């Protein structure tokens, strides 16, 4: 490093939870790239050596030891005089477990910094895993004082519970802030991240490097999209989203402090970002769990069509198998559209009629059902026969079943347990039906970089414009059982994402009876959602990670105006008098 510059390599990589050896190999390769670039420091993301989030795996002593051993080995390798390495790792010290960043340089662990502000909301649960670290000072790399706030350390304002870590670092002489992150993707989250970083840069007067991991981990998707801001809030660099990237930034010291002018990549937004997240989530779930490929029921409907397109984009056509499972209610147009979809995507496709299975079930059940009218039971049997056959093929071949229910269906329970809900992973679980239509139309004119599927129209237009139907009885459509999807999804977004009271939704112009019915369906379907396959999270509040409601739950919102709090009933006491009262 010359006196007035420092080169920092951002290693936006895709670690795998629990693969300590593989993650260390990725870190080692990134350092070799940084070394070839003449870098002084290579930075990896939060808890990189463990993979993020490790959840309760990080409490396992053997796992803690494996992570430490890998960090120590990487530290020894820095004796070669190459770049220092800043890498996230769990770390046990004085009997406490910390979310830490280790600075490796000169053949040793030159410094450790512990995360001070532990998130405990949404998908995060770090307070039950880690001890809170002390307010940190900067670390020194080649004579430059680097502040290392870890992820949430830049998100929270100072309070009785939280440290203002950035303020502390600025006051103790930091010159550049380097922030390792494990920040999951959610729709429009890039704007939120930028606003947080702008606030920290403004209050500290320091440039900031925001390094995020990339990749899928169960439901969570990490989109990368790492970036850096100069102290004057100009963009110093912007890395691509949804892909691994290693970029070396050259920072030069000017009269106004450190400054960088690096590459900037245009970012995906809106539906394009959601689609890319679904592709990455399915790809990593399949690959990281060792499945040789996937299969799915192709019905001629839009949900399975979109899932098939996502699967081919994620894995390639040779790793995707489509199965049409027709019965007497399956229309010829569904058979035709399913065949066209399979041909456009280039996937293996076969037709397995389920009439023999249905006849067998009905014969077995005839004595039990004697004297009872046909009803939804027979409709659900069709879904369960299909689910059984798909799982049999999965067992025989090792391919994972992709389940295809959208968020609208998951919300109101318009799905059959052990039937169309069968499967290992659902790429559209957090995508409402109206969004399924949009993403399908989008895919016919665009695909993300790195997608393995063909370009052009892959989802037949007739699938997109045809009224949705489960085809479980004659002339059935979804709207026989549900409100129009534009109305349903607008109500669900208010109930699920915003947690609005029914009275507020009704006041916004929605029909009272429709709102009450949707709310009821949402509540009684919780037991189904608990048994659903995991799926990609793209909204701020998905089922499972974010929205955790009890199955047994008698509370109901009846849509009445909410009473105002009666403050006259609340005793205003000091802590001392409260303690005296309790005594």
Catalytic residues: 46, 115, 151
Using alpha carbons, list the distances in angstroms from residue 253 to 40, 259, 418: 15, 6, 62
Nearest to 142 by CA among 231, 89, 82: 82
Question: Do the Cβ atoms of 425 and 400 come closer than 8 Å?
Answer: yes
Cis, bond preceding 53 (omega within 30 deg of 0): yes
Q: Which two tokens stand for residue 144?
A: 């430059």
Nearest to 531 by CA among 518, 547, 514, 543: 543
Query: To 5 degrees, how large is the angle CA 30–CA 285–CA 184?
Result: 65
First to last CA, the chain: 65
Q: Which two tokens stand for residue 111?
A: 């410094």
What's the full length of the chain, in residues?
583
Residue 372 host element (H or E): none
From start to end of 224-293, where are the E strands? 227-229, 235-238, 245-254, 257-260
Question: Do the Cβ atoms of 388 and 417 come closer than 8 Å?
Answer: no
Q: Which two tokens stand for residue 448?
A: 């993300």
DSSP track, 424-439: SBBTTTT--HHHHHHH
Measured CA to CA, the distance from residue 112 to residue 136 in angstroms comes to 9
Distance of CA 301 to the CA centre of its chain: 25
517-555: string of b/e by CB count within 10 Å (b at 16+)? bbbebbbebbebbeebbbbbbbbbbbbbbbbeeeeeeee
Question: Do the Cβ atoms of 355 and 328 come closer than 8 Å?
Answer: yes
Q: What is the DSSP letter of 399?
A: P
From start to end of 445-583, where are the E strands? none
Q: Which two tokens stand for residue 201?
A: 């840069």
Using alpha carbons, list the distances in angstroms from residue 92 to 15, 60, 108, 579: 21, 11, 17, 37
């Amino acid at each position: 490093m010359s006196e007035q510059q420092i080169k920092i390599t951002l290693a936006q990589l895709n670690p795998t939870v629990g693969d300590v050896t593989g993650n260390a190999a990725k870190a080692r390769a990134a350092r070799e790239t940084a070394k070839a670039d003449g870098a002084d420091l290579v930075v990896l993301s939060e808890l990189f050596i463990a993979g993020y989030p490790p959840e309760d795996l990080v409490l396992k002593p053997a796992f803690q030891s494996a992570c430490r051993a890998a960090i120590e080995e990487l530290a020894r390798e820095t004796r070669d005089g190459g770049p220092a390495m800043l890498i996230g790792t769990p770390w046990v010290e004085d009997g406490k477990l910390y979310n830490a960043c280790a600075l490796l340089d000169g053949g040793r662990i030159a410094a450790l910094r512990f995360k001070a502000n532990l998130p405990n909301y949404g998908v995060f649960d770090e307070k039950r895993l880690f001890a809170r670290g002390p307010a940190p000072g900067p670390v020194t790399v080649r004579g430059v004082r680097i502040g290392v706030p870890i992820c949430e350390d830049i998100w929270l304002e100072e309070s009785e519970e939280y440290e203002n870590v950035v303020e502390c670092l600025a006051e103790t002489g930091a010159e550049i802030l380097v922030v390792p992150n494990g920040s999951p993707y959610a729709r429009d989250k890039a704007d939120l991240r930028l606003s947080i970083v702008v606030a920290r840069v403004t209050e500290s007067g320091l440039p900031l490097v925001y390094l995020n991991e990339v990749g899928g981990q169960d439901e969570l998707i990490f989109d990368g999209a790492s970036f850096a801001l100069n102290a004057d809030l100009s963009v110093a660099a912007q890395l691509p989203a949804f892909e691994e990237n290693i970029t070396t930034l050259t920072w030069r010291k000017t009269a106004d402090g450190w400054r960088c002018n690096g590459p900037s990549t245009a970012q995906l937004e809106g539906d394009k970002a959601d689609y890319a997240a679904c592709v990455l989530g399915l790809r990593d779930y399949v690959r990281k769990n060792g499945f040789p490929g996937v299969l799915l029921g192709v019905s001629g409907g839009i949900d399975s069509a979109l899932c098939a397109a996502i699967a081919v984009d994620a894995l390639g056509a040779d790793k995707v198998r489509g199965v049409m499972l027709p019965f007497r209610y399956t229309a010829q147009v569904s058979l035709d559209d399913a065949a066209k979809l399979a041909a456009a995507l280039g996937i293996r496709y076969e037709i397995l009629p389920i009439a023999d299975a249905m006849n067998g079930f009905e014969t077995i059940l005839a004595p039990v059902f004697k004297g009872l009218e046909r009803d939804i039971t027979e409709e659900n049997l069709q879904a369960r026969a299909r689910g059984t056959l798909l799982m049999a093929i999965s067992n025989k071949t090792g391919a994972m079943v992709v389940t295809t229910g959208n968020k609208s269906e998951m919300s109101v329970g318009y799905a059959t347990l052990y039937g169309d809900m069968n499967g290992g992973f659902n790429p559209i679980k957090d995508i409402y039906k109206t969004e399924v239509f949009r993403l399908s139309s989008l895919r016919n004119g665009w695909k993300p970089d790195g997608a393995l599927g063909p370009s052009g129209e892959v989802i037949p237009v007739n699938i997109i414009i045809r009224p949705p139907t489960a085809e479980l009885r004659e002339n059935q459509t979804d709207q026989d059982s549900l409100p129009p999807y534009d109305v349903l999804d607008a109500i669900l977004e208010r109930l699920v994402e915003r947690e609005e009271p029914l009275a507020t939704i009704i006041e916004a112009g929605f029909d009272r009876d429709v709102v009450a019915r949707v709310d009821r369906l949402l509540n009684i379907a919780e037991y189904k959602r608990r048994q659903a396959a995991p799926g990609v999270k793209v909204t701020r509040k998905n089922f499972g990670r974010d929205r955790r409601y009890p199955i047994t739950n008698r509370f109901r919102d009846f849509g009445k105006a909410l009473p105002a709090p009666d403050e006259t009933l609340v005793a205003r006491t000091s802590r001392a008098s409260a303690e005296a009262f309790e005594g």
